[in-house]
Structure 1
Amino acid sequence: MSKSKKVLISGASIAGPTLAFWLAKYGFKVTVVERAPALRLGGQNIDISGPAEKVVKKMGIKTAILDGNTGEIGLQLIGQNGEAAASFPKKAALTGTRELEIIRGDLVTILYESTKKDVTYQFDDSIKTLTQDENQVNVTFASGKKDTFEYVIAADGVYSTTRQLIFGDEPEFKFLGLYISYMTIPREKTDTNWWRWYTAVDSRVLMLRPDNHGTMRASVAFLEDDKGYEKLSADEQKKLLKTRLKGAGWEAERISKALDEADDVYLDRIGQIKAPRWSVGRLAMIGDAAYCPTPLSGKGTTLAIVGAYLLAGELAKHENHQDAFKAYEERMRPYVEKVQNLPPGVPWMVYPKTRFGVAVLNTFAGIVASKPVQKLAGLFSSKGKNKEEDIEIPDYG
């Protein structure tokens, strides 16, 4: 393999820098272009599990991720009177909290620090046009700069502009009828290190999760038709969220008041990207740009890390990029399809409209969280311990 191959990656979140790490390790000359003027360090709690844990261990950053742990001790469903209706501790067979639990922005920083010496980062810029021929890809940036690369990889998220340049409207965004907002709010004495999930009537969910920065990560989610709320201004989104929080109970009033001072409010519709192909010629895509599974799967970060590792490895292994892209997709697509196959009734079943529906949900959760059920689940999960991984992480050398 030629060790002078130039690769351009669009997006400096998680998938992009992970891909950059491995490509640089294999001798490629890598540039990462990022539209934002600096790293985007906001975001909520994310976890790294299964095959992705193997990858970060290979990268030598597992310890740094553990050091950045949020301190979350498990998931608690909060009842209508503020009581804990069900508790799923971190070590339980059924839980939403993993060992490698970290704030998204902290992971972005770790990845950047691990790659900045060997990778060129081009902030406050983006790809404006690209054309490819048999030998290279010609790129014009929004800044006016022009360059040529062997390959260009889109890793710039679910609304990827690079994907649009490559594939047009081919991959569809499959909206799931749910909006979720995220924000950072002050921590109070009454807060705990549990991930607290409160279901309110009228198909609303409020969450509070701890971080390791002395604050709390809050989110508000609600079922709704596709209304384009993600396109509203920040002030308009805050106004909308306050309307949704009215009469919700629990910590709704606190979150509503915190909105006034919050400077990182993010509201988006939830859906999946199911692309029929992930490459064309010398152009390809990874992460949410290619196969966003939605936060409901809990596997978005895992797919980003694993996909980046596999793509880099196959590009290093094959002389022909078409063979590399084909091998990457053959390894990755079955795993992606399994992750994207959400349980029937998701998300609607966990967003009941009536008080009775909320009571039924919390009662059911309490039964699932009981010791006998957890013990039984533990027996089954230990027998099929490796099923969660469902994909081989080869050693590319």
Structure 2
Amino acid sequence: MAGVVRTLSRCLLPAEAAHDDRNNEKGRGARERDVDQERKAKRRSREIDAMLAREKRSVRRLVKILLLGAGESGKSTFLKQMRIIHGKEFDQKALLDFRDTIFENVIKVTVSSLREVWLFLTPELSVLFVSSFVNLKTFFVVFLLQSESVKYFLDNLDRIGLLNYVPSRQDILLARKATKGIVEHDFVIKKIPFKMVDVGGQRSQRQKWFQCFDGITSILFMVSSSEYDQVLMEDRRTNRLVESMNIFETIVNNKLFSNVSIILFLNKMDLLVEKVRKISICKHFSDFRGDPHRLEDVQTYLVQCFNRKRRNRSKPLFHHFTTAIDTENIRFVFHAVKDTILQENLKDIMLQ
């Protein structure tokens, strides 16, 4: 009925009145469109706010762990262990890459050992040397380098040399390849997201560390505890343990990490046990007090050295002696470390 009235009105009213009526209808239509668009905009805004809130909660829950330390301290091996322990298997491509790395490791050890030996041989002794060391295994036994992987690969050369050789988990853990750039791995542990970041420890790679500092929950600082008698590959002069202490001092006293839990991993415990029996730490660290061939004395000294580097000692120095190639050892240690990290992270979330 109302529609009929409007139609009759248009016919009977003057043209000006009909024109005004059409304008009013257009105005109502425009207002309705504006209201509809505003409603959609508000709904979209609420959706964006909800998405941002979810992302914020996710970021707050994310546990980001940065692995730091000098080269060859065991960071990459620790990350491999995390993959093994938490069920992230290596695909076929990764296995083939590790196989190539293992071959390269064996060849490099052989070549570097030969080079060092050759420098001290006269022509006469060279002939005897070549005739005496036809078997590569025998060569390794006599000229074993200071590397945890050499002994292992020595015992497994026959298996590694097979045409259909595929690296085992232990082979992968002992394969040595310097990290270049930034390597990240994500894990979900008891419904909590973890991101672990590994960066190269060599001097040339350390400028990349600053790219990883945003949003850090914890730093695992790794040290090769057995290297008290070794020097850096980079300059053949600086003691490796001294280098690690200097890096630790820079990290632990940085204001950026005042609210970040820093946990010290004194790695390569298996090699430290062997070395303490044979090589006195006193020759390289004159301030050592105690029995240089007693493991407990050496361990206490190492912890004290790193603890002294901290300007703020109001909190205890969380530390663990580890063997990164031992899966059960890392499983046990990380269980304890994880609880410490989560407790510290929970405190930070409560304060936000």
* TM-score, with structure 1 as normaliser: 0.28
Q: Which structure's residues are more often helix, by fraction?
A: 2
* TM-score, with structure 2 as normaliser: 0.30
Q: Which structure's residues are more often strand, by fraction?
A: 1
- Structure of larger gyration radius: 2
